[in-house]
Amino acid sequence: MRIRWWEIVITTLLALLALLWIAGGLLVPGLVLVFLLAFAVASRAEVVERNIAGAHSRTRGQLALVRALAIFAILVVVMVLLVVGDQRDWTDDTSGTVAAFALAGLSIYLFRDLRRYGDEALDYFIGGWAERHVADQLEPLRAQGWTIAHNVPREGRGNVDHFVSGATGAFAIETKSGKYRAADRGQAISNAIWAKEKFGKRFVTAVLCVATDPPIEPRLELHGRSEVWIVGPAQLRDWLVAHRWSARPRM
């Protein structure tokens, strides 16, 4: 992952300010600023694509986890302030009451975001695991002369999870850890069209490899005027080796 040079400069200056606050006894503002900086860096960081299965999803999951931890740390600070305020009878005057209600409202907002970023991190980690599992199924094909590439970046359009080419044809494989939707079929077909131009192939078969509720046997489905194969991870390698190309789809 990477961030821009000017973001590094601003982050460094603010981090030094946070350290000065902490050293000067302003512990709460200093810590909050550190947590906010961690959240901002994780939000602004760009994922550097690598041709490693699951690398994109894993990095996205790590960034979401950093955001969740930063939110959790700020939430802890807010809860501590509420406890301190209660012990010191903040609500005995108007300004203290307003501060207590503001902190309570902020804690609700933070808890909502904590759940959102936590769920996002979990989804990315599960997706990364599914991509690595599919890659493990594909790698033995190298010994049979197949060309295999993982996490192939599409300029400004995400990435192709797996591209394989061998004796039975070329295939663009989209991996889904959960149940697939119509949009996932469209993504697999879009990847196949892009891979056909990218790798100079006469035809690329669109494949959607689903880890949750895969079909008993590989199944061909229509999406508009194009076709996509729905395959489970355990079926994938044998299906690729036995596949017979058809000229019907237009990609």
pLDDT 10s digits, 115-145: 999 999 999 999 999 999 999 999 999 999 9
pLDDT at 221: 92
Name the pLDDT band for 81 (thresholds 50, 70, 90).
Answer: confident
Instruction: Please tell me whether residues 22 and 102 are part of one structural domain.
Output: yes
Instruction: Please tell me whether residues 143 and 127 are part of one structural domain.
Output: no
Burial class (CB in 10 A: 0-12, 13-18, 19+), 138: buried
pLDDT at 92: 76
pLDDT at 245: 58
Domain count of the chain?
2
Mean pLDDT lowest among 42-51, 124-133, 198-207? 42-51
Q: Is residue 37 part of a domain?
A: yes
| pLDDT mean over 76-102 | 83
**22: domain range?**
5-135
| pLDDT mean over 71-88 | 89
Q: Is residue 234 part of a domain?
A: yes
Mean pLDDT lowest among 55-69, 75-89, 179-193, 214-228? 75-89
Instruction: Please tell me whether residues 94 and 121 are part of one structural domain.
Output: yes
Instruction: Please tell me whether residues 42 and 87 are part of one structural domain.
Output: yes
Using CA atoms, how far residue 59 sits from 53, 64, 113, in Å, is 11, 9, 19
Q: Is residue 189 part of a domain?
A: yes
Q: Which of 135, 169, 199 is the last residue of a domain?
A: 135
Q: Is residue 153 part of a domain?
A: yes
88 vs 57 pLDDT, higher one: 57
| pLDDT mean over 88-116 | 86
Instruction: Please tell me whether residues 100 and 181 are part of one structural domain.
Output: no
Instruction: Please tell me whether residues 124 and 157 are part of one structural domain.
Output: no
Q: What distance in Å separates the CA atoms of residue 72 and residue 143, rounded to the nearest whole number?
A: 47
CA dihedral 165, 166, 168, 173 (to 10 degrees): -30
Residue 205 pLDDT exceeds 90:
yes
Q: What distance in Å separates the CA atoms of residue 108 and residue 116, rounded to the nearest whole number?
A: 13
Contact present, 164 and 148 (Cβ < 8 Å):
yes
Tokens standing for residue 113: 């975001």
Residue 249 pLDDT exceeds 60:
no
Q: Which of 119, 135, 151 is the last residue of a domain?
A: 135
Instruction: Please tell me whether residues 32 and 124 are part of one structural domain.
Output: yes
91 vs 120 pLDDT, higher one: 120
Instruction: Please tell me whether residues 156 and 44 are part of one structural domain.
Output: no
Instruction: Please tell me whether residues 22 and 109 are part of one structural domain.
Output: yes
Instruction: Please tell me whether residues 116 and 151 are part of one structural domain.
Output: no
Residue 219: give its domain's CATH number. 3.40.1350
Mean pLDDT lowest among 2-11, 67-76, 241-250? 241-250
pLDDT at 185: 92
Q: Is residue 225 part of a domain?
A: yes
Q: Which of 74, 103, 135 is the last residue of a domain?
A: 135
Average pLDDT, the chain: 90
Q: Is residue 26 part of a domain?
A: yes
Instruction: Please tell me whether residues 15 and 114 are part of one structural domain.
Output: yes
Contact present, 118 and 218 (Cβ < 8 Å):
no
Instruction: Please tell me whether residues 103 and 181 are part of one structural domain.
Output: no
